[in-house]
């Protein structure tokens, strides 16, 4: 049995135990939500493994809160990247009286769930949701540890024009909250820099046939294509670009910036033809060392590489616990007020929050792909927010 499978069984056992037994007064139940089934399950399970690592590490620290040794327990729910299932998962966590929630992965599930967590007074830290609306609702319970769409998309628009010297673009999005949001902000940043958008096309998050929209784009002959969406769609799209002999640069946000994209795209990935950005920036040697050590430990313990968001999930979970320690309380009404004051040095870099719950001074790492490997190009400071 693989180590990954063992962890999954442990998670299921702990989940069942937490839900059917009376919670010990010294136990702290933390919820996690991600798509564990469906098109994006590989990313959701990556998140879950990062969450489990954090729970284990917290318990190994032997943390005392209010003079009592506490035990952290994790409860993981599947939202299948579907808003309706996401709100159902949120209600389960609320019913189980979790102290806080790490999630959701997608903006489309995070935003409606955030309304419910806020009503219940439960703090929520998303490791990956980028829609600006999430933290602009006036909630004191909503935080994220990644750049939002304005920071991410707008910065990529300016970077592609000013640094990569790409002047015309076709923009494609998958019509999800994340995909359309990041594409919209990218287009605004690109056009503000002087770039020209020659085509806007749309697909959906489970699409597999892109020949019609790609043929229409080919006739416009853009310098590059910007795709707002996830790797599960970007991979097949790149394959079909190759089939159409379209020699064009391909750019996307964090949704395509995964270790899985080379497998999904195959030979169509090319060499330094695909660019993407990941929130966070390894700006100093200490941060690089922490990040590398986390990734190596993740591989050793789970027998698979980090896909994308696991380090952010790990940091988000640690921040939630740090707020409890600083407040000397496990009561969400008390410790949630400490989250906004935290300055935390995580495996993804330094993290602090602004008045909205967005990460301050967000950095982005630009990546490309060469010989099937994701390679960093440069770290840039995001703008906007």
Q: Looking at residue 2, what is its pLDDT?
A: 39
- Paired residues of 73 in beta bridges: 29
pTM: 0.85
In 3D space, the residue among 358, 341, 306, 329 whose CA is nearest the CA of residue 100 turns out to be: 329
CB 298 within 8 A of CB 36: no
Percent of the chain residues topping a pLDDT of 70: 91
Q: What is the rounded distance in angstroms from the CA atom of residue 321 to the CA atom of residue 28?
A: 10
Contacts of 19 (CB under 8 A, 6+ apart): 75, 96
Interhelix angle 310-327/41-60, nearest 10 degrees: 40
| pLDDT of 314 higher than 50 | yes
In 3D space, the residue among 111, 30, 102, 39 whose CA is nearest the CA of residue 71 turns out to be: 30
Percent of the chain residues topping a pLDDT of 90: 79
**pLDDT tens by residue, 186-203:** 999 999 999 999 999 999
Q: What is the rounded distance in angstroms from the CA atom of residue 233 to the CA atom of residue 241?
A: 12
Contacts of 328 (CB under 8 A, 6+ apart): 65, 66
- For the chain, the first-to-last Cα distance in angstroms comes to 45
| pLDDT of 20 higher than 80 | no
**pLDDT tens by residue, 144-176:** 999 898 888 998 999 999 999 999 999 999 999
| pLDDT of 14 higher than 70 | no
Q: What is the rounded distance in angstroms from the CA atom of residue 385 to the CA atom of residue 212?
A: 35
Q: What is the rounded distance in angstroms from the CA atom of residue 358 to the CA atom of residue 287?
A: 20
**pLDDT tens by residue, 200-259:** 999 999 999 999 999 999 999 999 999 999 999 999 999 999 999 999 999 999 999 998
Hey, what domains does the chain have and what are their CATH numbers? Answer: 3-146+285-353 (3.40.50.2300), 149-279+364-381 (3.40.50.2300)
Give the confidence band of 385 by pLDDT, cuts at 50, 70, 90. low
CA distances for 125 relative to 58, 203, 270, 312, 359, angstroms: 17, 29, 36, 10, 11
C-beta atoms surrounding 200 within 10 Å: 14
**pLDDT tens by residue, 249-303:** 999 999 999 989 999 999 999 888 999 988 776 556 788 889 899 999 999 999 9
**pLDDT tens by residue, 21-57:** 445 678 999 999 999 999 999 999 999 999 999 999 9
Length of the chain, in residues: 385
Q: What is the rounded distance in angstroms from the CA atom of residue 164 to the CA atom of residue 45?
A: 34
């Amino acid at each position: 049995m693989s180590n990954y499978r063992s962890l999954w069984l442990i998670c299921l056992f702990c989940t069942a135990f937490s839900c059917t037994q009376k919670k010990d007064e010294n136990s702290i139940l933390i919820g996690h939500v991600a798509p564990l089934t469906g098109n994006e399950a590989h990313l959701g399970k990556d998140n879950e493994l990062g969450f489990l690592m954090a729970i284990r590490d917290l318990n190994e620290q032997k943390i005392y809160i209010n003079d009592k040794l506490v035990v952290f327990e994790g409860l993981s729910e599947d939202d299948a990247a579907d808003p309706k299932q996401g709100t159902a998962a949120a209600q389960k966590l609320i019913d189980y009286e979790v102290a806080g929630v790490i999630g959701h992965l997608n903006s489309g599930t995070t935003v409606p769930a955030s309304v419910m967590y806020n009503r219940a007074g439960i703090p929520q830290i998303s490791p990956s949701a980028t829609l600006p609306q999430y933290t602009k609702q006036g909630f004191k319970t909503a935080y994220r540890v990644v750049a939002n769409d304005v920071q991410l998309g707008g910065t990529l628009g300016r970077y592609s024009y000013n640094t990569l010297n790409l002047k015309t673009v076709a923009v494609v999005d998958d019509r999800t909250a994340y995909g359309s949001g990041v594409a919209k902000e990218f287009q605004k940043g690109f056009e503000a820099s002087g770039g020209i958008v020659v085509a806007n096309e749309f697909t959906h998050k489970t699409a597999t046939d892109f020949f019609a929209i790609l043929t229409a784009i080919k006739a416009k002959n853009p310098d590059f294509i910007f795709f707002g969406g996830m790797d599960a769609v970007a991979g097949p799209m790149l394959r079909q670009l190759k089939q159409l002999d379209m020699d064009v640069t391909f750019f996307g946000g964090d949704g395509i910036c995964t270790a899985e994209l080379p497998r999904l795209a195959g030979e169509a990935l090319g060499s330094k033809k695909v660019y993407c950005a990941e929130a966070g920036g390894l700006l100093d040697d200490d941060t690089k060392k922490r990040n590398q050590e986390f990734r190596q430990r993740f591989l050793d313990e789970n027998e698979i590489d980090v896909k994308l968001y696991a380090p952010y999930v790990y940091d988000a979970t640690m921040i939630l616990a740090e707020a409890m320690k600083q407040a000397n309380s496990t009561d969400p009404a008390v410790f949630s007020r400490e989250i906004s004051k935290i300055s935390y040095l995580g495996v993804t870099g330094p993290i602090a929050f602004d008045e909205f719950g967005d990460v301050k001074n967000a950095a982005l790492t630009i990546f490309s792909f060469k010989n099937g490997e994701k390679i960093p190009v440069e770290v840039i400071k995001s703008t906007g927010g």
